[in-house]
Structure 1
C-alpha cells in the first residue's frame, strides 16, 4: 500500500460526453433558476441528479477519477447547502428576471469551476483528509461562486460571506458522502493509508459528527449571510479565589461573604484548554455561569468546534432542553446520541467508552423551568454527573465535563462545585474603569473594550463598514446593553434598520419590538413572506405572544401545536391560527425559524416548536401578561359601571390563573415585565396598580378561584398552580409600584392574613434566593402579624410596616431602606447586614435585636428601644437617636458621623477599646445623653464628650 505518494486528481476525459442526467453547466443553470423560484420546488430532484452513482456516470475504478468525483460531489452538496440555508435572503424583485435567459454569467462560472477542477494540480494525500480546508481550489472557486450568488440576488457582502463559509460546508459534505457511500470510494482506501481512509465505521461516524460541530459555528445568524464564527469575540471570565490572610487585620469586624473572596480574571478559552491539558481526574468538571445573552451557548459551540478540529479528544455537545435528565446519565447519553443520529454507539458504555471524552452540557437552566420541582431535577442531574465522572475517572482521566447555565441556577447548585476555579463567571464585552477595581486582572485583559472588536467584525461581515461601536450607542443605558453579546447584536440589527431612536434612556423592550416589526415586514427585503400574508401585524404579534405563553406554560422552551391551539381558541384567534399553521408548514421566515422559534421535535407524538433564544420568548410572554392586565382592568371597570357587563374579581382572577398558573415567574421574565410597564403611561400603571391591589385583597380573603377553570386538575396540581398565579400577581403588582413609587394599599381581612399568605408562597427554601420575597417593596402592611417569619434576603424597600409585629423575625441581608417601621416590634429580630438606610424607626422596639453590620444611615431612631441590641459595626451616620434607649447594648459603632444622640440612654452600653480609635464621632451630638457606666476603656469620658461637641 502506498503511504507516501498521493493521487493525482483528474476529471474523467469524456465526462461531458457521457450520458449524465445533469452535467456541470446545466446543474448550475438549474440552481440559478431555482434560486429565484419562490418554492425551490425542484431542489430535491436536482440534488439527486447531481450525486448520481458511479455506475450511472460510467466511471471505472481509476483512483484519479474517483477522487475527482468525491471532490465534485462534496462541492456540489456544500454549495447547495449554502444556497438553501440562505435562500430567504434573496430579493424577489423584477431585476433578477434576466437571470433566466442570461447565459454569460453561467458560462463564466462553469469555465472557472471547470478550470479549477481540471487545470489546477490537485494531489490527494494523507494531508488532504487531515486538513481538507487547505485544498487550493477553494481560493479559485470562491470568487466565481460569489459572483454567481450576486447574480442570484445576494448583495456583495452576503455573497462574499456565503462563499467564505464554503470550506466548512465542504468538510461536512465530504464526511457525509464518504460515510454514506463508502463502496464508491473503496479504491481510495486501497491507495491511501490515512486515519480517514482506514477508519472503521465508528471512527467515521465520529469524524462526521466532529465535522458537523465545526459546521454549526458557520451556520447563518438570524437574517444574515455570515455565521457566528465570523463575528465571535473571545470571552473573558472570572473565578472566585479565597482571600489569603485577613485583609482587615487589626480591625476585626465581621467580614462579609463577598470580602472572603477575590475575583480573578482569565481568558475563558485559555483557562479551559489548560484545564483539559492538565487532565486531573479529581478536577474533571467545569461550570460556565452567565446571564441571558452573555454568550454562554456561543462560547461552548465555538469551543466544541475548536476542540473537535484539533482531534486530540472526542467531543460530545448536548443541549439540555433536548436531554432527559431523569435517566441514569449513561442511559440518557445513549438515548441522546441515538436520537441525534450521528453515533450508533454510546460513548459512555463501559465496553464502548472512549479513552478521552469531553461532554459539554449547554443550558443547565433548561432543567429548572418548572419552579422548585425542576430545580430539584437540576440538582439531581449535577450530582449524577459528579457521581459518573468519579466512576469513569477511578484510575485515569477518561471523562471531562463542561456545564453551562444561567447565574441563578448555577448559584443554586454552587455548593456542589467546590474545586478551585470550578465555576467560571462570564464577563461582558466592556467593564468600566471603576468596575475593574473589583477584579484581580494581572494581564490587564479587561482594559480592552471588546465591543469595538465586535462592531469591526460585524461591519466587515455584513458589508455595513463599521470600524468601531457607533458613538450614539455608547451612552447611558446603552453602555450596559451593548456590553452583553446578544443584546449588542440585537441593537446592531435595530440600528441598521434605522427605525429606533437610540438615547441614553433606551429601553431594551423597544429593540425587541422593532425586531418584531422586522419579522413582519420581512426585514430589509421589502418583501413579505407568503406564510404571513393576510395577517395584520397586531394579529401576527398576538399569535407569537400565545406561542410564547404556551412555551412558558410548558417547559419554558418548547410547545406543541395543540398547546398553541388551546391558547388561541381561548382568546378567539382560531382563524388566524389556521393561517399561521399553513405558514409554519411553509417555513414562515428564516428569521422566525432561526431566532424566534423553529420546529424542534416530537412530544407525546406531537410536533414541538421551540424558541432558539429564550429571552425573546420571555419578552413576548411579558407582553402577553401586560395585555392580560389591561383586559382585567377594563373588564372590572365595566362591571363597576354596569352590573350586566365585564367581570367581577372571581372572573378576573380566573383569567389571571389561565395566564399564570402553570409556571413560576423568574427574575428574567419579571425584568421584561418591568421594562414593558415602563413603555406604558404612568397613569395607566397607577390604575393597574390599584386594580392589582384589589385582586390581591381578594386573594388574601378567598384565594384564587381555580374552580372556575374549564379544565380541572388533581388537587395537589391545582394547589401548586394557584400558588404560581398568586406569586405572579404579587410580582406584577410590585413591578407597578416600583415605577409609581406609591404604596400598594392591599386590604388584609385579618392581621395574620398576609403572614399566612407569604408563608404559602415562600414554602420550604431550597436556596437563599426566594423570588416572592423580592416583591414586597411598597406594600402596605400596617399592623400586620409577622411573628417569627423567614424574610431572609427580602425586599421591603418603601414598605409600610408601621406597628407590625415582627418578633424573632429573620431579616438578615434584607432591604428595608426608606421603609416606615414606626412603632414596629422587632424585638429579638435578626437584622444582620440589613439595609435600613432612611428608614423610619421612631418608637420601634429593637430590644435584643441583632443589628450587626446593619446600615442605619439617615435612619430615624427617635425614642426607639435598642436595649440589649447588638450594634456591632453598625452604620449610624446622620441617624437620629434622640431619646433612644440603647442600654446594655453591644455598641461598637464604626460610623456615628452627624448622628443625633441627644438625651439618648446609653447606660451600660459596651464600647470596646480597640474600636474607639476606629470610630467616627465627627459632629455626633451627645448632649444630655446618659452615658453612665458606659465602658469606654482607655478613654476619658469627659474629654471624649468635649471633643465631640
Structure 2
C-alpha cells in the first residue's frame, strides 16, 4: 500500500502540454438534444463522445489523471442515465433553445469545476457519493434540468438521485475498464483492487441494491427513498397466566382466537436490525406480514439497501415471483442467479466454493410463489419447510444464514403454525391507527410509536418531492372510509394522484375503485392522449379493455401479476387488438409491448419461450381482473334479457354459464379480487345508476340452473374429468362470490330456486376446501350473507367464522352445526332447529330467533344484543358471558341453561322459564322478569 495519503486528481494533458479538450457544455448540449427526441433517443454513446476513452488513456500518465478519468466518466454516465430514465418528463424544445439553455446555465459553472483541484483518498472508495465534485455538479445539473422538464420539483428530484447513480456508474466503469485503471493499484489500496473477483461482484451487487430505492417511483420524477416512511409493526405475545400446555387449555386458546394475546408495537427497521446484529442461529427466520399495498416490498428493498450499505453482512434479495420454490433451496437460488443476467448478482453463496461468512436472504412475496388455491398453499408450505431445513443445516455450528420472508397476511396466516417463536412474525401496521383500534386489539405501545400519524409526514414529503407543497394530509381526506384508505401506503399514494388531478369527488364513502379508474385515465391522458403520431388514435375504452384482458390472462396463468404476449392475445377481443395494431402500424408483439410499457408494467424474464411482463404492483392486476368480471356480469344480464324477448337472440342460461366458466374456471377467485368486485358493483350502482338487483337476480337464476343441471363443462372440451371438475368448482364458487357482491350492495335477500332441501348443503360442501389449519378461512363461507336458506337441511355443517349476516334461515335444520364466530347479525332464524349447535362467540345482534330451537346449544361469548328470542327453546344452552342486552326473551324456555356472567341489561324475560338456570354473576339491571319462572334458579354474585 502506498504511503501517500491521497491522490491529487487532475485533467490529463497532451504531449504538447495542452489540456485534453473535455467540454461539459458540449456534453450537456449533446445530452439534451439526444433526450429531446424520445422516439430515437440513444444516450449510451454520449459520454464516449465527450470523453473518448482511448485518447484519454493514451494521454493520461499519472495516477491523478487516471483518477480524473474514472470520476468524470462515472459522473457523465450517471447524468446520462438519469436523463435517459426521465425522457417522458421532458418538454418539447428545439435544438437552438437547448444550446442557449446549456450556455446560460452551465458554461461558467462547469469551467470552474474543470479547473478545481481535488484529492481522493481511501474514504472516497468507501463513500464516493461524498466527493465534493458530486455535490457541486448537482447544482448546475438541476438548473439545467429545470429548463427541460415540466416543473422545478421534477428537476430537483432527478438531481437528488445523482449521488447514488454516480456510485453505481463508478463500479460499472471500473469493471468495464479495470485494466485501464490498473495504475491506481500502486497508489491506493482500493476495495476494487484489494478484493478478488467474487468480492468485486458482491460490491457491485451491494451498490445495485442501494440503487433500487433510488430509482423512479412509478411514473414520478422522485424515488421511493424520497418519500419513504419507516413502518411500525407488531408481534403477538401471549398474556401471562395462561401457560397450561394440556390439550384442554390449548383448545380453549384456539376457541378464544387471540383473546389471550397482546400486540407489541415495534419500529420494524429497529426490530429487524437487532435480529440481524444478534444473529442467533436458533432464531434465524423472520416473516413480514401485511395486506396488499401495506409496504412489505418497499420495506424489504429499503432494508436490503440499508444492510448492503452497512456492509456487515452479505445480502441477497429474491422476489419470489422470479423463483422456483419446488426445487432444493440451494439449486433454486442458483437458478435465480443464472436466469437474471441483467442484474450483477454474485455467484451462488449457498454452495461451498462461494462461501460467505454470513448471509441474509430476503424472499419477497410469499403469496406469489405459484397458482392460487390449494396448490399455492401446498407450495408455500413446502417452501417454508425447505427454508427451515436449510437454515438449520447451514447454522449447525455457527450462524451463517439468516432468512427474511415477506408475504400477504392471508398466506402467512395459513402457515402460521410453522412460525412459533415469539417475534418471528411481524405484522406491518398502517400509517394511522385510531384509538378504537388500539383498544380493540390490545396494543402494547411502550415507545408511543402509534401516537404519530405517519400520513402527515408522508404527505409533507410527497408535497416537497412532487412540488405540490402539501404541509400534511389534506383535511378532506381524513374522514370516513378515506381514513382507512389513506392509512395504507399504496392506496394513500393513489389517492394523492387522484387528489392532485381533482377528478374524483372525495367524500366519506369514496369508492376505492373510482380512484383506480382515475389512475388509469391519468395514465392514458399522460401517455396515450398526447399528440404523438406513433400512438395517436388509441381510444381510452380500448386501452382499458386491453388492460383488463392482460389482468385476466395473468390471473388465468396462476399469477395475477405476470403474463405473456401470447396469453394476452388469447384473452383479448381480436377486434380491439386489430384496432390498436392498426394505430401502431406494427406487428402484434411490438404493439402490445409498447402498450404494456405505457401502464405500470415492466419486463420480467421468460416463461417457457415467451417474454413475460408484470404489473409493478399486484393490486393493479386484481382491480382490472375484477373490472373485467363485472363487465362480463353486465354482458350476461344483457344477453339473457335479449334471449327472453327473442329465443333466437342473446344467450340462454347454458350459453351464459359456458361464458362464465371460460372466464372464471381456470383459477379460483380470492378475497382480494372479490373485494374489488364488491367496490366495482357499488360504483356501477352509485355512479352509473345500474339496477344491481337485476344483476343479483341473474346470478340467482344461473345458480338455480346450475344446481338442477350442473355446469356445462362438456362444452369446453377439456381433456380430463379432473380438470373439468376443478374448473367447474372454480366457476361455481365465482357465481356465489359475485351473487354475494351484488347482495352486499343491494342489502336484499338472494332467492335461489333449489331442487331439494339438501341441494344447497350439497353445493356448499363441494365448494368448501378442507381446512389445513385453524387459522385458514374458507372463502365461500364469507359469501353467505343475505342468502335465502329457508327450510334448508344443513345438519352438522361447518360454518365456522361464516358470514351469514342478514340471511334468511327460517326453519332451517342446523342441528349440531358449527357456527362458532359466525356473523349472524340481523339474520332471520325464526323456527330454525339449532339444537346442540356450537355458536360460541357468534354475532347474533338484532337477529330474529323467534321460536328457534337452541336446546343444549353452546353460545358462550356470543353477541345477542337486541336479538328476538321470543318463545325460543334454550333449554340447557350454554349462555355464559353472552351479551343479551335489550334482547327479547319473552316466553323463552331457558330452564337449566348456563347464564353465568351473562349480560341481560334491559332484556325482556317476561314469562320466560328460568327453572334451575344458573344466573351466577349475571347482570339483570333493568331486566323485565314479569311472570318469569325462577324456580330453582341459582342467583348468586352480582345479579
1:492 and 1:793 map into 2 onto residues whose CA distance is 36
Q: Which ranges of structure 1 fall in alignment gaps of 5 or more residues?
A: 945-949
Deviation for aligned residue 1:888: 2.8
Match of 1:162 among 154, 158, 174: 158
Deviates more, 1:901-910 or 1:372-381: 901-910
Q: What does residue 354 of structure 2 align with?
A: 352
For the 8 Å contact 2:234–2:428, the answer to whether it is kept is yes
Residues 584 and 474 of structure 1: CA distance in aligned 2, closer, same or farther (over 3 Å): farther
Flag the 1:178–1:593 CA change in 2: closer, same or farther, 3 A.
same
Tell me whether 1:190 sits opposite 2:186 in the alignment.
yes
Q: 1:30 to 1:752 in 2, by over 3 A?
A: same
Structure 1 counterpart of 2:27: 27
Distance verdict in 2 for CA 1:880–1:515, change over 3 Å: same
* Pair 1:758-2:760 in alignment: no
Does the alignment pair 1:557 with 2:554?
no
Out of 39-48 and 541-550, give the one that drifted further. Answer: 39-48
Give distance in 1, aligned partners of 2:265 and 2:15.
60
TM-aligned CA deviation for residue 574 of structure 1 = 4.0
Q: CA deviation at 1:772?
A: 0.3
Segments of structure 2 that go 5 or more residues without pairing to the other structure are 244-248
Change (3 A) 1:461 1:937: closer
Q: 1:947 maps to which residue?
A: none
Taking the TM superposition and a 5 Å limit, the aligned residue runs for 1:109-124 are 109-116=106-113, 118-124=114-120
Q: Is 1:656 equivalent to 2:653 in the alignment? A: no
Q: Does 1:778 align with 2:779?
A: no
Confirm or deny: 8 A CA contact 1:222 1:595 kept in the other structure.
Answer: no
- CA distance 1:278–1:15, shift in 2 (3 Å): farther
Q: Secondary structure at the match of 2:398?
A: coil
Q: What value does the CA root-mean-square deviation take over the aligned residues?
A: 2.5
How big is each residue's C-alpha offset from its partner over 1:591-650, in whole Å with a ceiling of 9 and x where there is no partner? x64862222121110011111101111111111111100000000000000011000011
**2:879 aligns with one of 862, 871, 879:** 871
Query: Cα distance 1:500–1:687, how it changes in 2: closer, same or farther (>3 A)?
Result: same
- CA apart distance, 1:15: 9.9
Partner of 2:9: 9
Where does residue 246 of structure 2 map in the other structure?
Answer: none
- How far is 1:503 from its partner? 1.9
Match of 1:504 in 2: 508
**Structure 2 residue corresponding to 1:794, chosen from 802, 816, 829:** 802
Q: Map residues 75-114 of structure 1 onto 2, 5 A cutoff.
A: 75-92=75-92, 96-97=93-94, 99=96, 102-103=99-100, 105-106=102-103, 109-114=106-111
Equivalent position to 1:727, from 725, 728, 733: 733
Query: Equivalents in 2 of 1:368, 1:847: separation in Å?
Result: 47
Contact 1:20 1:57 in 2 (8 A): no
- 1:686 maps to which of 690, 693, 703: 693
**Aligned residue for 1:747?**
753
Q: Contact conserved, 1:863 with 1:883, CA < 8 A, in 2?
A: yes
State how far apart, in whole Å, the 2-side matches of 1:75 and 1:184 are. 17
Cα deviation for residue 931 of structure 1 reads 2.7
1:373 aligns with: 375
**Deviation at 1:4?**
4.4
The answer to whether 1:338 aligns with 2:338 is: yes
Q: Check 1:851–1:530 CA distance in 2 against 1; reply closer, same or farther (3 A cut).
A: farther
**2 CA distance for matches of 1:368 and 1:906?**
57
Partner of 1:603: 607
Counterpart in 1 of 2:927?
Answer: 924
Match for residue 643 of structure 1? 647
Task: State the alpha-carbon separation in 2 of the partners of residues 617 and 17 from structure 1.
Answer: 62
Among candidates 700, 707, 712, match of residue 714 of structure 2:
707
Secondary structure at 1:748 match in 2: coil
Partner residue of 2:326?
326
Q: Residues 428 and 15 from structure 1, CA distance in 2 versus in 1: closer, same or farther, beyond 3 angstroms?
A: farther
Give the Cα–Cα distance (whole angstroms) in 1 for the partners of residues 319 and 895 of structure 2: 61
**Secondary structure at 1:865's aligned position in 2?**
coil
Query: In the TM superposition, what whole-angstrom CA distance separates every residue of 1:490-529 from its partner, at most 9, and x where no partner exists?
Result: 1111122122222222111111111111111117x97355
Which stretch has the larger CA shift, 280-289 or 495-504? 495-504
Q: Determine helix, strand or coil for the equivalent of 1:361.
A: strand
Does the Cα contact within 8 Å between 2:485 and 2:492 map onto a contact in 1? yes
Tell me: CA distance 1:891–1:155, structure 2 relative to 1, closer, same or farther (3 Å). Answer: closer
17-26 vs 281-290, which moves further = 17-26
> Which of 547, 550, 554 is 1:547 aligned to?
550
8 A Cα contact 2:831 2:850, kept in partner: yes
Deviation at 1:906, TM superposition (A): 2.5
Relative to the length of structure 2, the TM-score reads 0.94
Tell me the distance in 1 between the aligned counterparts of 2:241 and 2:740. 43
Q: Is the counterpart of residue 71 in structure 1 residue 71 in structure 2? A: yes
* Aligned pairs (5 A) from 1:548-587: 548-554=551-557, 555-569=559-573, 573-576=577-580, 585=590
2:487 alignment partner, one of 483, 488, 493: 483
Query: How far apart are 1:104 and its partner, in Å?
Result: 6.0
Aligned CA distance change for structure 1 residues 668 and 104 (closer, same or farther; 3 Å)? closer
| 1:179–1:205 CA contact under 8 A, matched in 2 | no
- For the Cα contact (< 8 Å) 1:234–1:268, is it kept in 2? yes
Structure-2 change in CA distance of 1:13 and 1:819 (3 Å): same
Distance in 1, matches of 2:448 and 2:59, equals 61
CA displacement 1:50-88 (0-9 Å, x = unmatched): 575436752344211111111122112111110111111
Aligned residue in 2 for 1:843: 851
